[in-house]
A and B are shown apart, each in its own frame.
Chain A
Amino acid sequence: MPMRALAAFIKKEFLHIFRDKRSLLVIFCMPIALVMIFGVVISTEIHHAKIAIVDLSDKVRSQQLIEKINSSGYFQTVAYLHSTLNLEEVFRAQNIRLAILIPPHFSKNVENNASSTLQLIADGSDLNAATTLIGNASNIIQEFAQETSVALRAPPPFRVLPRMHYNPEQKDVFMFIPGILALVLMIVSAMMTSITLVREKEFGTWRLLSSTPLPSMVIIVGKLIPYFLLSAINSCLILALATSVFGMPIHGSLWGLLGVCFLFILTSLSLGIFISSITNTQQAAILASMVGLFLPTTFLSGFIFPVENMPAWLQPIAHIVPAKWFIEAMKLMMLKGATLHSVLKQIYVLTGMAVLLLAISMRRSRKQAT
């Protein structure tokens, strides 16, 4: 391979990238923006939800419980009531999400170690939020029950101790980071590569290059190296953000993790080459990337919706989405501390996809040449 020509070609490719403000924006600002949006703005964790407490007991123990609820950080009590009469009005007027009903004799029952039943009334018009709030409230009440029974030296009949293994704090951002990484690498590696390759076709420079003795392999490799480097930088950037800002753990080996990222970049690059081989204009390439890459990467990869919950006919489609395998491997390695050896299946699938896509696009471009 003529190395000087390759180096000149790579330099030219970087000039294209750095002189185009839009591509700079996509390559360097978008990843950070995406991580921030998913990490900070979009969150199913709810803090300081407005609630009402109906205290029908109004004694020491119930006040202790209320204090515990208020200091948890999950809730902000905006109304204290002593009867349920006005509850409906409070729901409407103060826009509360949850009401906690403490029954009469609660305090006495606690002292006597007898059982009492509390009622949680949630605003079911936002079902996801309601479920989360009920979960949070139940946890606090359970904890309170255990604490008081310990304080009273009476052993509770039994306890349930739920724990979210691998994500004890139940942080959403841990679920999103692998997906964001997949999305960003898809955009930079697959979409940008396909656009720049198709641009050469559209502007006729591809024909000019093919009239020179430069082997077409140099053109392809010269296109891929810059985008590989940029994608690799992006992977490191996103992982650094994930660990430093959001405290995401990397339980597996960092090198193994980066290795899987680089493999996924290669798969995305071959997707980009494939898209450029089936399109002739930049617009068509963008459209093909949107439909063929982003929709599946966002909705079918397990990024937002778990693959297991999809209807049976959709699952096989999800299995041909490269990002699905990448996200799987990333979650295993980052959260469960899996070694490269235990994600071999994902590695094989991603490698296979890259080889297949490259083979198809090479066949196609050879056909076009004759």
Chain B
Amino acid sequence: MLTLTGVGKRYPTGDRALDDIQLSLPKGQVMALIGPSGAGKSTLIRCVNRLVEPTQGSIRLEGTELTTLSGNRLRHARRSMGMIFQEYALVDRLTVMENVLSGQLGYVGFWRSFLRRYPTEAVAEAFRLLERVGLPHAIDKRADALSGGQRQRVGIARALLQSPKLLLVDEPTASLDPKTSRQIMRLIRELCAERELAAIINIHDVALAQQFADRIVGLRAGQIVFDGQPSELTSDILTTIYGEEEWDTSPEPVEEVESIEEIGHHHGQRPYATPRPLTGLASGGAR
């Protein structure tokens, strides 16, 4: 459904953020994109909806070449790509309902949106979505009155109101606590299944990626260094992606997931959050 061929991005400063990316995403697949900070994850998903302009290569969404679109045709293409952000990117001074309805902006004209006169079906869909993400009570609240997890749910509802075919998700859980992170990832996962959406999820938390994604792609310095099943992700591969680290201190990821489901108070404790011996820290810098 989404195909990236030879996509590259060089910033005006000369930094090469992406280098010859080949990627193909079938309908309904949830793909996690992992990699160290600065590897180009954010640049990659922003190249897809052209918030960042790729400098080479081709990106096709269901047969439409995205890299050459401009003006109205770009706006129309963006409608079918919902985006979810790390810091939620809600407009704080607008109400929850206005934030969700802003997902319709690509479909309605300026004056309708200015006067907040959205089509009845869009408003009905917004109510359904708020119900679905668990915020039916918060419609009239201002976005800045919500907690982090609630704000991310509003962000998800906004993205879904675009009736997208593809979700671009940028670090959805980086500002959330472990329990909320899981809930949000589970929600995204379920919604993708319900609506047969493909998704690219940038994520730092490898355990979450393994639990909730169908496929994992590892990015390092702008290049794809791993592409496979979550179960294929071994310590060696993590080292290829992130560099040398004592990955072994984490318990086996699959077990970790199950044990967390059972033991309530251990919710979401991350494998690499276990304290390491002080000597390890001291030698870390010298490596």
Whether chain B is bound by chain A comes out as no
* Chain B residues in the interface with A (C-beta under 8 A): none
* Chain A residues in the interface with B (C-beta under 8 A): none
